[in-house]
Amino acid sequence: MKKRKEMDLEKLQSMVMNGRIKKFVSIEEGAQLYSIGKNTFREMAKDAQAMYRIKRRVLVNLEKMDEYMELFQDDN
């Protein structure tokens, strides 16, 4: 079975900074983008209800993830 090619971190970050061209990312791409581990990103995406399963592929909605991340803002 052919493995999907994941986007490198620099290209993904530039896309996001320039108007978020990608609304959905894989678990691996999202973990790189948020600088956290894959398991942590997967758990957070599940808690944020941002995960979408399409056959065997799991995609995460970055808009929902951003909203969820704002809940952890430290006011200090």
- Other Cβ atoms within 10 Å of 48 Cβ, number: 18
* Domain, as residue range, for 41: 9-70
**CA pair distance 18, 39, nearest whole angstrom:** 27
Token pair belonging to 48: 């944020």
> CA–CA separation, 5 vs 14, rounded Å?
18
Q: How many angstroms separate the most distant Cα atoms in the chain?
A: 49
What CATH number does residue 41 fall under?
1.10.10
* Domain-located, residue 39: yes
Q: Per the domain annotation, does 2 fall within a domain?
A: no
* Within-domain flag for 76: no
64 is a domain residue:
yes
**Alpha carbon distance 76, 71 (integer Å):** 14
Structural domain count, the chain: 1
Q: Is the pLDDT at 41 greater than 60, yes or no?
A: yes
Task: Tell whether 19 is covered by a domain.
Answer: yes
pTM, two decimal places: 0.73
Q: Over 90: is that where the pLDDT of 17 sits?
A: no
